[in-house]
Amino acid sequence: MQIQVFDTTRQIASAVSAILLKQIREKPQSVLGFATGSSPVATYQKLIEAHENDGADFSKVTTFNLDEYCDLAQSDPHSYYSFMREQLFEKAGFDYSRVHFLTADTADHESVCRAYRAEIERCGGIDIQLLGIGRNGHIGFNEPSDRFSDGPFMVELAPSTLEANARFFETGKPPRYALTMGIGDIMAAKKILLIATGESKANAIRAMVKGDVTPQCPASVLQTHPDVTVFLDRASARLL
Ligand code: F6R
């Protein structure tokens, strides 16, 4: 696991976007795994700027998002699909026929999960997976538990996650359930880039980097992946 510490969010975004842009220059048909939440937003802005100002072409890129809330239609403004449309896809020229989401507004979530995994495999696997990290050490929506998950599954979100994500909902209440890619799916990515900023992530970052590899801190499994780079600001790196 390689750790890089930066002074500003802008610097993190420049470093992460440079890796993603190099990837799509070298392989225009790359498969990228994306995350939602605050952590990747500045990076997505850099990708939009590269598209608008430097002609970066994302039209052949295939994408898989990590997770989606249950019981929200894709068109709901709170869905992660809507988030990605607004924060990246619409402005950076992605081809929606290559965009993949766990469609979580369906009762038959098991077949949705099976099909998602099969589709990732059919597309040749994920070249680069972008991650944030929860205050409780979750990646995707793999919450602390007794075992590492494998493929996509439905999860009940931890109270700390519901609290952290309440800011995105006028009601203050995110849906309690979500579909998420499993730890096995994330670990199968060829390369992983994880972004964390702010004091609230410092404990999770210490557990991820220095703690035991345990499903009680799902991100700790990344210690066993051969190609992970972690991009931190000074506040989130404080306990290393
Ligand atoms: C979102 C996701 C989550 C977030 C994490 C951090 O798709 O998978 O693991 O990355 O909850 O969220 P932020 O970046 O909002 O602090």
Which of the following is catalytic: 143, 165, 185, 233? 143
CB within 8 A of 205, min separation 6: which ones? 133, 196, 230, 232, 236, 237, 239, 240
Whether 136 is a known active-site residue: answer: yes
pLDDT digits (tens, 9 = 90+) for 157-203: 999 999 999 999 999 999 999 999 999 999 999 999 999 999 999 99
pLDDT for the residue numbered 64? 98
* Residue 36 CB less than 6 A away from ligand 1: yes
* Residue 174 CB less than 6 A away from ligand 1: no
pLDDT for the residue numbered 187? 98
Q: How far is the CA of 162 from the centre of ligand 1 (A)?
A: 11
pLDDT for the residue numbered 71? 87
* Residue 138 CB less than 6 A away from ligand 1: yes
CB of 135 closer than 8 Å to CB of 201: yes
Which of the following is catalytic: 65, 67, 109, 165? 67
Q: Give, to the nearest 10 degrees, the angle between helix 9-26 and helix 41-54.
A: 50
Q: How far is the CA of 180 from the centre of ligand 1 (A)?
A: 12
> Which residue stretches of the chain have pLDDT < 70?
105
Q: What is the β-pairing status of strands 177-180 and 67-69?
A: antiparallel
| Residue from 12, 16, 43, 66 to probe ligand 1 pocket by mutation (most atoms less than 8 Å from CB) | 66
pLDDT for the residue numbered 105? 65
Whose Cα sits closest to atom 3 in ligand 1?
140
Q: What is the largest CA-CA distance in the chain?
A: 47
Q: Which two structure tokens, joined as six digits, stand for 196?
A: 């964390």
pLDDT for the residue numbered 155? 96
pLDDT for the residue numbered 36? 97
Whose Cα sits closest to atom 11 in ligand 1?
134
* Residue 181 CB less than 6 A away from ligand 1: no
Cβ atoms within 10 A of the Cβ of 53, count?
8
